[in-house]
A and B are shown apart, each in its own frame.
Chain A
Amino acid sequence: MQTNFLRLHTYLVAFLVIALLVTFSCVITFGTVKADSQIGWLDCFAEGGIAMVTLTWLLTTLLARPKGKVTNLLFFGLTAMLISMLLDFLDEFFRFNGDNGWVSHLEAFPAFMGMILMSFAMYHWYKEQQILNNMLSKKERFYREHGLTDFISGLYRAEYMKQHIDNELLSLKLHQRALSVALIDIKDFSQFNGRHGTARGNSLLADIGQIILLNLRDTDLACRYAGDRFIVLMPNTNLNAAQEIIKQVAKMVAQHKQYTSENNYSTFSQVHWRCVEAYNGESKAALLKRLNDELNVQKAQMV
C-alpha cells in the first residue's frame, strides 16, 4: 500500500554520497589537523548537531516526496546547506594555512546558494500544495490533522467529522444556516469480507470512499464513520437537496466494479443511506443517534 519513495531517488542519494565524499576529501587534502588543545569541544558539538539535523531533513524530504522539480530543488538546496554546515564543523578540527585559506573563506557560499534554491523550491511547493488542497477539498476542510485519518479508507475518521458537525451546529444556532448529515452503509459488507477476504474488503472501503468523494459538492465533507458506514456533512443544505445528492452517490456506488488481479471483477452491491437535517438546538450526540436509528429502522424495513 505504501510506496517507498527512497527507492525512487537512487541517483539523488548517489549524488549526496559523492558530494559528501568530495567535501571530506577536500578538507583532508587542503587542511592540517589541529592539536587537541586547540579544539573547542562545545562548538564541535553544536556545529556537528546542526549538520546532523540538516542531513535528517534531507533524508526525510527524500522519504516523503515523489520525483519531480520541487523534490530536486529541495534536495539540491538542502545538500548545499549540508556542505556548508559540514565545512563549518570540520573547520574545528582542521586548519587551512597559506594558499589553502580559500576553503574557510568559501565555507558560507554553498549555504547561500542552497537558500536561493530552497526559496525557489518553496515557491513551487506552494503552487503544488494549492493543487493538492483543491483535490482534498471534499475530504478536508480548513484543518489538517493526519492523526485523525483512517488508515483503511484514507478518509478522515468520525472524530474529525464530529468537530465539524459541532461547528456547523453552532452556525445553525447563530445564523440559521441549515445543515444536513447523511450516513451511507455498505450492504452485506460482512458477507463480502467472508467471501473475498478482508484485504479485498479493505480495498472496497477505500474505493467506495473515493466514489463518495467524487460525487459530492466542494462544500461537502465525507469521512469514514465506523465499520462499513460513511458519513457526509452537507452545510447550508436542506433535507431535499441533501437527499438528491446522496441518491446520486448511491447510484454511482452501485455501478462500481472491483477488479481483481485475474481481470475478474466482483460487482458490488448497493448501499443503504439515510439523510437527516439538524434541528436548531440539537446536540451532536442526539443528531448522530437519530441518524443511526433512522438508518437502522430503514434497513430493518427493507428486508
Chain B
Amino acid sequence: MNRYFEAHERVFKAHTLILPLVEMAMQRGVSADLLLKGSKLFFEDFKTHSQLISCAQLDVVFSNASKLLAKDGVSFLLGERLSHTASGNGLQALLHAKSLHHMYRISQLRQFELFPYMYTKNFRTQTHTHFILNFAVHKPSTQVTTFFYELVASLIERVLKQRLGMLATQRLDAFDYCIQFPFPEPSYIEQFHSNLCGSYSFSHQSFVIAISNKLLNQPLADAMPTLAKYYLCQNDHIAHRVGFLQFVTTLISKFPRATSDQLAHKMGYSCATFKRKLKQHQTSFKELKDELQKQQSLFNITELGYSNEQAAAALSFSDTTNFRRAFKRWTGKTPSEYRHIWSR
C-alpha cells in the first residue's frame, strides 16, 4: 500500500460529513439526489453499508452544497454537528489530552482518522504559535476551499469551547486566539457573526489559526492524560497515510534544493508522470514550492520582524533582489509594502 493517497482514491469513511449534510439539505427542501448529483454517490447506499469515498467526490458534494444552500451557513452547522458525531479512538484521545498543544500533537499523529483533508504546519514565536492549514490531497475550487475553511473554523471553535470548559453563552474573544481567513469579507458575514465566537479577520494570504503559547500550554481542567495515552495505544489498523499534496510538500521541505525531476525519482515516477499527477491535483511543482516559501517568508517578515536580508537567507536565496522579486510574485506586494500594511 502506498504511503499517500490521491484525489480519486476511495479512502475516507466520510459518513459523518455526508449524512448530516444530506439531512440539512432535506430540511431546507433540497433532495438528497440533488445534493449528491455528479458525485456518483447514492443516498440509498449509505443506508445499507459503510461507504468509502474519495476526496474528489467529497468536493463535488461540498460544491453542490455551497451552490444549493449558499446562504444558509451549512458549513458552520456541519462543523458543529461534526464535533458531536465524530467518534473513534483518535477523537477520544483528543478529548482527554492535557493541553491544547497536546491536542495538536495527537491531531498530527491521528490525522488520517481525524481530518485527512487538510494538514497543519506550525510556526512559533516567543509568544504565539501560528498553525497554517493547507489542503492535503488536492487543490479544490475556491467555493470548496471556502466551505472547508468555514467548516474547520466552526469545528475548532466547538472543540476549543468544550475543552476550555466554557458555557455555550461564553465567548472565545476573551482568549488569545484568532482565525485568519484567506478570502475577503463575504456577503454573508452574518453567518460569521452568529456562528463564530472568537476573533477572526479576512483577506489574509493563508488560512491561519493563531494561539498564544500560554493558552496552548495551559493545563486543561478535564484532562486525563492516561486515558488519552490508552486511546492512542489502541491499534485500529489504520495505516498512517497522507494526501498526495501533503506528501509532495513534505518531500519538498525535506529536500528544499531538489528539482522536480529528483523528487519524481524519489517517489518512483518518471518526470512526465509526476508532472501529470500534480496537474491532476490542480497544482504544479513550482506552485507548491512557491506556497511553501511564501508561507515561511510571510511569517518571518510579519511575526519575527526579519529584514529582507534575513528573510532571503532563511530561504537560501542568493540575494535580496531575487527574494524581493519572488515575494512580489507570491503576494502581489513587496516585503516593505507588506510590512507597512501589517503594522497598521
Task: Decide yes or no whether B125 CB sits under 8 A from chain A.
Answer: no
Q: Would you call B174 and A300 a contact (CB within 8 A)?
A: yes
Give the docked Cα–Cα distance between A303 and B195 (Å).
19
Task: Decide yes or no whether A65 CB sits under 8 A from chain B.
Answer: no
Q: Would you call A227 and B168 a contact (CB within 8 A)?
A: no
Q: Would you call A187 and B169 a contact (CB within 8 A)?
A: yes
Q: Mind listing 22 A-B residue pairs with CB under 8 Å?
A: A2-B29, A151-B72, A159-B71, A185-B194, A190-B168, A191-B168, A194-B84, A225-B194, A226-B191, A227-B73, A227-B191, A227-B194, A228-B194, A229-B193, A272-B169, A288-B193, A296-B197, A299-B171, A300-B169, A302-B169, A303-B167, A303-B170
Nearest residue, chain B, Cβ from A158 = B190
Task: Decide yes or no whether A150 CB sits under 8 A from chain B.
Answer: yes
A289: chain B residues at CB < 8 Å are 193
Give the docked Cα–Cα distance between A229 and B193 (Å).
9
**Interface residue ranges, B against A (CB under 8 Å):** 23-24, 27-29, 71-73, 76-77, 80, 84, 167-171, 173-174, 185, 187-191, 193-195, 197
Give the docked Cα–Cα distance between A292 and B27 (Å).
27
Task: Decide yes or no whether A157 CB sits under 8 A from chain B.
Answer: yes
A272: chain B residues at CB < 8 Å are 169
B195: chain A residues at CB < 8 Å are 226-227
Q: Would you call A157 and B80 a contact (CB within 8 A)?
A: no
A264-293 with Cβ < 8 A to chain B: 272, 285, 288-289, 292
Chain A's nearest CB lies how many Å from the CB of B204?
18
Which residue in B28, B170, B187 is a CB contact (below 8 Å) of A151? B28
Which residue in A199, A225, A288, A299 is a CB contact (below 8 Å) of B169? A299
Known: A2-B29, A187-B169, A227-B194. 18 other contacts (CB 8 A): A151-B72, A152-B27, A158-B71, A188-B168, A190-B168, A225-B190, A225-B194, A226-B191, A226-B194, A227-B73, A227-B77, A228-B194, A285-B185, A285-B189, A288-B193, A296-B173, A300-B173, A303-B169
Chain B's nearest CB lies how many Å from the CB of A303?
6
Give the docked Cα–Cα distance between A194 and B77 (Å).
12
Give the docked Cα–Cα distance between A188 and B29 (Å).
26
A188: chain B residues at CB < 8 Å are 168-169
B27: chain A residues at CB < 8 Å are 151-152, 198-199, 202
A228: chain B residues at CB < 8 Å are 194
Q: Would you call A151 and B173 a contact (CB within 8 A)?
A: no
Chain A's nearest CB lies how many Å from the CB of B168?
5
Give the docked Cα–Cα distance between A226 and B197 (Å).
13
Which 5 pairs of residues, A with B, have the shortest CB-CB distance?
Answer: A227-B194, A226-B194, A226-B190, A151-B28, A158-B190
A226: chain B residues at CB < 8 Å are 73, 188, 190-191, 193-195
A202: chain B residues at CB < 8 Å are 27
Give the docked Cα–Cα distance between A18 and B264 (Å).
74
Chain A's nearest CB lies how many Å from the CB of B82?
13
Which residue in B71, B77, B84, B194 is a CB contact (below 8 Å) of A229? B194
Give the docked Cα–Cα distance between A188 and B166 (Å).
12
Q: Would you call A296 and B190 a contact (CB within 8 A)?
A: no
Q: Would you call B28 and A198 a contact (CB within 8 A)?
A: no
Number of interface residues of A (CB under 8 A): 31
Give the docked Cα–Cα distance between A139 and B250 (Å).
54
A300: chain B residues at CB < 8 Å are 169-171, 173-174
Give the docked Cα–Cα distance between A227 and B194 (Å).
6
B169: chain A residues at CB < 8 Å are 187-188, 272, 299-300, 302-303
A194: chain B residues at CB < 8 Å are 84
B171: chain A residues at CB < 8 Å are 296, 299-300
Give the docked Cα–Cα distance between A199 and B171 (Å).
26
Give the docked Cα–Cα distance between A135 and B118 (Å).
49
Give the docked Cα–Cα distance between A302 and B28 (Å).
33
Chain B's nearest CB lies how many Å from the CB of A157?
6
Give the docked Cα–Cα distance between A202 and B23 (Å).
12
B168: chain A residues at CB < 8 Å are 188, 190-191
Give the docked Cα–Cα distance between A296 and B174 (Å).
11
A209-248 with Cβ < 8 A to chain B: 225-229
Give the docked Cα–Cα distance between A95 and B155 (Å).
73
B194: chain A residues at CB < 8 Å are 185, 225-229
Chain A's nearest CB lies how many Å from the CB of B27?
6
Q: Would you call B193 and A225 a contact (CB within 8 A)?
A: yes
Give the docked Cα–Cα distance between A158 and B76 (Å).
16
Given contacts A227-B76, A300-B173, A302-B169, contact A292 B193 (CB under 8 A): yes
Nearest residue, chain A, Cβ from B185 = A285
Give the docked Cα–Cα distance between A199 and B202 (Å).
33
A229: chain B residues at CB < 8 Å are 190, 193-194
Q: Would you call B193 and A150 a contact (CB within 8 A)?
A: no
Nearest residue, chain A, Cβ from B27 = A202
A191: chain B residues at CB < 8 Å are 168
Give the docked Cα–Cα distance between A288 and B24 (Å).
27
A49-97 with Cβ < 8 A to chain B: none
Chain A's nearest CB lies how many Å from the CB of B246?
32
Q: Would you call B72 and A288 a contact (CB within 8 A)?
A: no
A128-172 with Cβ < 8 A to chain B: 150-152, 157-159
Which residue in B23, B28, B76, B185 is a CB contact (below 8 Å) of A152? B28
Give the docked Cα–Cα distance between A292 and B195 (Å).
11
